[in-house]
Amino acid sequence: MYIADYYNHRIQKWKVATQDIPFVDGDAVTVAGGNGAGTATNQFNGPKAIFVDAIGDLYIADMNNHRIQKYHYGPRITIPAGETSGTLTITALEDTSDDDDETIVISPISVVNAFSDQTNTHTITIIDDDALPVITFEWGEDTIEENSAKDVALVAKLSNTSNKEIVINFSVSGTATQTTEYTLSSTGITIPAGVSSRDLKVSTKGLDDDEIEIKETIVLTVNSGLTNATTASDLTTLNLLSKDPPIITSIIVDDTNIEENGGVSIVRATISAPTSVPTRIELDVYGSATFIDDYVVDFSSKGEPLTVAGTKRTGDWFSRFQSFQ
């Protein structure tokens, strides 16, 4: 994209940004002018419009100098007066995108101040030296609950963009049952050429039961035959949690009399069925004995941190925070 930068008296060439490949420093260069306002051949005084011809030459309306300036950018060979040869140099540039080998075809289209019967085309091949991009998988959340109002996305990210389409097909397994406990928006992800990521979604909306269940798994495994990329891991797992609570069936103390200096009594609770989330029973412990002076307690979750609001990610969802003041 060319821009007539009127007040800076120059023509800028910009690499157009996309949603997946943002504009960065170095993507804009001055291709004409940029030497202040003036009447010299390398200056403008308020460039107003640009025309690019078929071979890439620029025609600029230099408004306040009342002239049209032509800048040669179309490839050509110029043989200076008094000499018998001239050259055009082609240099391959480095990039980080995986490409097929690419070709440059050179063919004469017109000649000025000479006769020519040269019509042959010449082909130069640029040999790609970039490694295949590596795909990593990232879930939007670590778990999904039964009948969740929010879907969870699996994002496939490339280590670097590719100029080839990448198709990732999955086989589906795990202890959770597809269609009755969850659905997938697709069993594959297609990443178009030039794009760095795409996703699929797991949904449990409207899928609920009253069974008390342990944590179940949704496992996606990359099928064989993946081309144009490799994976950091072929397998990725999302955990499905049941919201159905069990029944506390008993709380038992195994010894109601314990000796000072080392006597132990175990308080044991049982539930009707194993679940996918921990069951916690808060206890009120009191009496004439004094905690710390007369006895101590120990339990499996002692000192365990517990998030009671928010998640590990920022955002404006009802379950997330952006910052604290």
Q: What is the pLDDT of residues 46-66, one digit of tens each?
A: 999 999 988 888 999 999 999
Task: Compute the average pLDDT of residues 11-30.
Answer: 71
| Residue 305 tokens, joined | 């941190």
Domain definitions of the chain by residue range: 2-71, 134-241, 246-325
Q: Are 271 and 279 in contact (CB under 8 A)?
A: yes
Per-residue pLDDT, 134: 95
Task: Compute the average pLDDT of residues 306-325.
Answer: 63
Task: Compute the average pLDDT of residues 74-103.
Answer: 87
Partners of 105 in the beta sheet? 123
Task: Compute the average pLDDT of residues 231-250.
Answer: 93
Whether 324 has a pLDDT exceeding 60, the answer reads no
Residue 191 CA to residue 161 CA, distance in Å, equals 10
pLDDT band for 20, please (50, 70, 90 cuts): low
**CA distance between the termini of the chain:** 43
Look at residues 61, 4, 59 and name the one whose alpha carbon lies nearest to residue 34: 4
Residue 152 CA to residue 149 CA, distance in Å, equals 10
Residue 204 CA to residue 239 CA, distance in Å, equals 12
* Residue pLDDT, tens place only, 98-149: 777 889 999 998 899 999 999 899 999 988 888 889 999 999 999 999 999 9
| CATH fit for domain 134-241, picks 2.60.120.260, 2.60.40.1740, 2.60.120.380, 1.10.3720.10 | 2.60.40.1740
Where b means 16+ CB within 10 Å and e means fewer, 44-64 reads bbebeebeeeeeeebebbbee
Q: Are 240 and 217 in contact (CB under 8 A)?
A: yes
Q: Are 130 and 95 in contact (CB under 8 A)?
A: yes
Per-residue pLDDT, 153: 97
Mean pLDDT (the chain) is 89
Contacts of 293 (CB under 8 A, 6+ apart): none
Whether 322 has a pLDDT exceeding 70, the answer reads no
CA distances from 140 to 20, 214, 321 (A): 18, 22, 15
* Residue pLDDT, tens place only, 143-176: 999 999 999 999 999 998 888 999 999 999 999 9
Across the chain, where does the E strand assignment appear? 2-5, 10-14, 28-33, 47-52, 58-62, 67-71, 102-106, 122-126, 134-139, 143-145, 152-158, 166-173, 183-184, 188-191, 197-203, 216-222, 230-231, 235-241, 248-253, 267-271
Q: How many CA atoms lie within 13 A of 147 on its CB side?
A: 8
| Residue 212 tokens, joined | 């008390």
Per-residue pLDDT, 211: 86
How many residues are listed for the chain in this entry? 325
pLDDT > 90: percent of the chain: 68
Per-residue pLDDT, 104: 92
Per-residue pLDDT, 316: 57
* Residue pLDDT, tens place only, 186-219: 999 999 998 999 999 999 999 988 888 899 999 9
Least-confidence region, from 10-19, 80-89, 129-138: 10-19
* Residue pLDDT, tens place only, 270-285: 999 999 888 999 999 9
Contacts of 242 (CB under 8 A, 6+ apart): 145, 146, 211, 212, 213, 214, 215, 216, 275, 276, 277
Residue 200 identity: L
